[in-house]
Amino acid sequence: MTTRSATTAAASTSGPLVSCAVGYLSAWLAARTRMVSSQPKYELIQEVGRGSYGVVYEAAVKCTGARVAVKKIRCHSPENVELALREFWALSSIQSQHPNVIHLEECILQRDQLAQRMSHGSSSPLYLESRFTLSIMAARPELSHFIRLVLVETSLKGEITFDPCCAYHLWFVMDFCDGGDMNAYLLSRKPSRKTNTSFMLQLGSALAFLHRNRIIHRDLKPDNILISQARTPAGSSEPTLKVADFGLSKVCSASGLNPEEPASVNRCFLSTACGTDFYMAPEVWEGHYTAKADIFALGVIIWAMVERITFVDAETQKELLGSYVRQGEDIVPLGEALLENPKMELLIPARKKSMNGRMKQLIREMLAANPQERPDAFELELRLVRIACRELDWDT
């Protein structure tokens, strides 16, 4: 299974504008960047996850004892910094919390023993990167990607202002989810209609919230959906989903869009093919898509959850939830198969009596080859609620 990053190599573009931009940045950082010493606010308890992107720890807030998750990202390459910037920009742009979206408590830029708290709209190097790049894009669009990587490297790798001998890290403090990810949670338990219905409602609500806030996730998959097992007053554990990992997300600009029209995110066209292949929509493979690509990914997840369709990842040998098309002995991602044959009819449901007619029709529409035939996130949320209301048997 392949995850495609939104980061590409910078073009070897140069000129007076680049020199001017770098000079401006150097002077700006020298005048405005303030690193302040920080006493430890969190106590790391144990490592809970590790990847090429960074390390995730379970931690405790020293003054309260509350559990949090802390993601440590080493800023040693433009790729890592680009992913971190996307996650920071998306999560910090949200003005309110949602129970099914991971909450960013704070983001800290660390240089050795010094630290600076980042905030959306602040005068930090991270925010400067986003704001200053926009001005360069307006003047010279062909240089925008090159300038962005120059700014990322100069502001975080120490090529101009910071000491290159120092180690730079970004720390993301977020909700701690004690139930693992959606794959681990569901595949370690017997199928449950009650759990399936609850998860569908939570996912539909989370996606509607993100799209209402003009955030396209672009990498929805069970690995990026975490479980928090909160205790009820009766002592039972009720799983709460948290959509996480916004490293490939895109915050669509409100420019030219009607703020009063919630579905306007579906007119934000993107061209970078990124995501995880088994959950990517056909149009993402082509490189021309909107937020409807998230609807397709959620369709893959819900179909796989309801019928417990799994495959084994060739790289990790881990069993994962995900629907696909079988071609001989090979399994092919749905999006790739539909790109080759848009008229292909998917066998939904794969097993008889595994879902009712309304659920069957909704999943088929979510997985339509033509994104215009898919419901948007707001219609999807409403239809999932209607389907859940008709699910009277909550005992299985």
Q: Which residues are annotated as a binding site?
A: 72
**Is residue 343 a contact partner of residue 337, using CB atoms and an 8 Å limit?**
no
The residue among 274, 320, 325 whose CA lies nearest residue 301 is 320
Which are the contacts of 302, defined by CB distance < 8 A and separation ≥ 6? 200, 203, 363, 366
* DSSP string computed for 127-185: HHHHHHHHHHHHH-GGGHHHHHHHHHHHHHS-SSSS-TTS-EEEEEEEE--TT-BHHHH
- Locate all alpha helices (DSSP H) within the chain, ordered by sequence: 16-32, 78-93, 125-139, 144-156, 182-187, 193-212, 282-286, 292-307, 334-340, 357-366, 377-389
Encoding tokens for residue 251? 């915050």
219 tagged catalytic: yes
* Three-state DSSP state, 28: helix
Distance CA 277, CA 300 (A): 11
Which are the contacts of 394, defined by CB distance < 8 A and separation ≥ 6? 193, 194, 197
Catalytic residue among 219, 223, 245, 277: 219
Q: Which residues are annotated as a binding site for ATP?
A: 72
Distance CA 200, CA 239 (A): 12
The residue among 225, 34, 247 whose CA lies nearest residue 124 is 34
The residues assigned a catalytic role are 219
